[in-house]
Amino acid sequence: MISRSPHEIELKLLCAPASHERLKAAPCLVALSGSRKEKHLRTDYYDTEDLALSKVGIALRLRHDGRKIRQTLKVAPATKMEILRNAIEIEDNLEAAASKPDLGCLPTEWRSRIEAVLEDRPLEARLTTDIHRITYLWKSDAGDEVEIAFDQGEIVAGDKTLPLSEVELELKSGHANALYGLALDLLEIAPLHIGTRSKAERGFDLLEGMPVEAIKAANVDLPRQCSLEEAYAEILEQCLGHLLSNAHAMTLGHHAEALHQARVALRRMRSAFSVFGGVIGGDTAETLSSEAKWLGGTIGKARDLDVFMMDILGPVMEAHPDRRDLQKLRAEIEKMRGEAWKQASGVVASTRYTRFLLQFGQYVAAMDWRPLTPRDILAPGSAHLFADDALDKRLSRVLRLGRDIADLDIEDRHELRKRLKKLRYTLSFFVTLYGKGVTKSYLNDLGKLQDVFGALNDVAMAEHLLERATAQNPELAKAAGVILDWHEARARKDWKAALKLWQRFERHAPFWRGE
């Protein structure tokens, strides 16, 4: 029987094989022994030679389950920015003798889409998963049902293999909040990490080394008539997804842009909590904001050193490639950078980080702010009214400090940069509530102003890093002086550019008040 485009809601948790045994021995699972099922699953994934389906987020598989063969089409969500995998899944039981997928079983819409991607190219079995699966059915007091699946085995792609050990929580009925609560309970028993990639994605990466890219945050897509509560939930969900979508790239090593985007995601989270704090929030929001600050500060150290190596030291080394003192300084900074990345990687792999992600997801899913909020936040269009006032407040703080911009000292310039960034984050939350035509010029000029202030901040950050490096090795003081002289000359030009850009930005009328 065909299941037409249902959405499979699941949470994937990666763990060591030893953690499986600890989890299965936990009293909460021992009590579920009556629902325990055990099976061996071999699954073949089909694609073209150049992985045409995989490249557009489609996985087509045949699963051998005893004497049964089940064909499944899985379609990845349009956005990578979500903690729960919410894939479209279409299943059909095939004849036991079936040796390849049967596209004729698929709904017409999906069959046509796949045929358009294939362009008459043949489908071949490109990789296989060989899994031993143990499942339990868990029920909450509220009646939610979640299947807990312990998977151990391997992914085989050509002559390469990848061990696999994970726990999947799939919502069978009820509310997604139940997934988070159960995952948090399991986290107290054994270390777990949220998995953001499917078995197929990992297999095709093993097969051909699929490119890993950092993911930038897009503007939050809010319907014009959405309520304030709907906006709050959507914004927080996107912030969480932005952080998660860069997690895999960060685990692969020094992926500087992915780490940068992770820090941006954490800052956007804190900015969202701040913007809504006077109306929606509560103790949980304050706790999550505090954790986001700690995480951002920890990984931020590595990001600062990445920027120093690429944007501060890089151009000076290019101009003076033979200076040995600069080479020694680079080696010293590389040591500091390696330690900072080690610390950042440790944080991302920590139980504290996983707990933060799960608690954040649970807060949004459960709408934990509900008892604290007035009824008018539920009214259609209330997000638009709130956005007008929130943007007014952010802009007012920017203009107040920038009124005497030519006389600002270094600390005030830094503060103005932060206020501009908070204004930009707030705009990214609400900008789709307004017409694109009226926002483009404003956002472009704000972006240019931010870039210049960011470059100025990089120079100030470089001074602190060089102080640390020369304190450990005074022989590097001359090299540090060369770097600062180079960039202070550039900073003077940047400041002149900032003054001109400020004048242009200041002339803009707030587009949100033109509606």
Over the stretch 65-87, which tens digit does the pLDDT of each residue have? 777 899 999 887 666 556 565 66
pLDDT category at 8 given cuts 50, 70, 90 is low
pLDDT for position 114: 93
User: Is residue 3 pLDDT above 70, yes or no?
Assistant: no
Angle, alpha carbons 510-446-485 (nearest 5°) = 150
Q: What pLDDT score does 85 carry? A: 56
- Averaged pLDDT, 486-492: 87
pLDDT of residue 4 exceeding 70, the answer is no
Lookup: tokens for 125: 């079995």
Per-position b or e across 127-157, b if 16+ CB within 10 A of its CB: bbbbbebbbbebeeeeebebbbbbbbbebbb
- Rounded Cα distance between 473 and 35, Å, is 64
CA 110 to chain centre: 29
Q: In which band, very low, low, confident or very high, does the pLDDT at 184 lie, cut at 50, 70 and 90?
A: very high
Point out the least confidently predicted range of 46-60, 85-99, 167-181, 236-250.
85-99
pLDDT score, position 29: 86
Distances (CA, A) of 340 to 245, 259, 285, 298, 462: 21, 12, 28, 8, 15
The pLDDT value given to residue 212? 81
Determine the pLDDT at residue 473. Answer: 87
Q: Which amino acid type is present at position 427?
A: L
Burial 176-210 (b: 16+ CB within 10 A, else e): bbbbbbbbbebbebbbbbbbbbbbbbbbbbbbeee
- Average pLDDT for the chain: 90
Q: What is the arithmetic mean of pLDDT over 237-253?
A: 88
Q: Report the C-alpha gap between 258 and 211 in whole angstroms.
A: 13
Closest CA to 143 of 96, 177, 92, 108: 177
What mean pLDDT comes out for the span 76-99? Answer: 72
Of the CA atoms within 13 Å of residue 381, those in its CB half-sphere come to 0
Q: What is the pLDDT of residues 107-137, one digit of tens each?
A: 999 999 999 999 999 999 999 999 999 999 9
- Give the type of residue at 133: R
CB contact at 8 A, 200 and 409: no
- Minimum mean pLDDT range among 211-215, 231-235, 237-241: 211-215
The span from the CA of 383 to the CA of 423, in Å, is 17
pLDDT score for 6: 41
pLDDT at 279 over 90: no
Give the pLDDT score at 5. 34
Question: What's the full length of the chain, in residues?
Answer: 515
What CA–CA distance (Å, rounded) separates 116 from 102? Answer: 16
Position 98 scores a pLDDT of 81
Taking alpha carbons only, the member of 114, 130, 110 closest to residue 122 is 114
Assess whether pLDDT exceeds 90 at residue 45.
yes
pLDDT at 2: 28
Spatial separation of the C-alpha atoms in residues 236 and 215, rounded to whole Å:
17
Mean per-residue pLDDT, 32-59: 93
Measured torsion, CA atoms of residues 248, 358, 25, 21, in degrees rounded to the nearest 10: 0
More confident residue, 258 or 94: 258
Residue 105 corresponds to which tokens in the numbers above?
């079983």
The mean per-residue pLDDT over the stretch 93-108 comes to: 85
For the record, the structure tokens of 496 come out as 């002149």
- Per-residue pLDDT, 233: 92
The total of other beta-carbon atoms located within 10 Å of residue 396's CB is: 13
Query: What whole-number distance in Å separates Cα of residue 114 and Cα of residue 47?
Result: 11
How confident is the model at residue 402, as a pLDDT?
Answer: 93
Give, in order, the Cα–Cα distances in Å from 110 to each of 24, 115, 218.
39, 9, 28
Q: pTM for the complete prediction?
A: 0.91
Most confident of 93-107, 199-213, 398-412: 398-412
pLDDT (tens digit, 9 = 90+) per residue, 370-380? 766 677 788 88
pLDDT value of position 83:
58
CB burial string 426-444: b at 16+ within 10 A, e below: bbbbbbbbbeeeebeebbe
Segment 19-27 long-range contacts (CB within 8 Å, at least 24 positions apart): 19/165, 19/190, 19/191, 19/192, 20/150, 20/152, 20/165, 20/167, 22/189, 22/190, 23/150, 23/167, 23/186, 23/189, 23/190, 24/134, 24/150, 26/186, 26/189
* Phi (first) and psi of residue 5, to 5 degrees: 50, 45
Residue 372: predicted pLDDT: 66
331 Cβ neighbours under 8 A, 6+ residues apart: none
Task: Write down the pLDDT at residue 371.
Answer: 67
Which residues are bridge partners to 136 per DSSP? 148
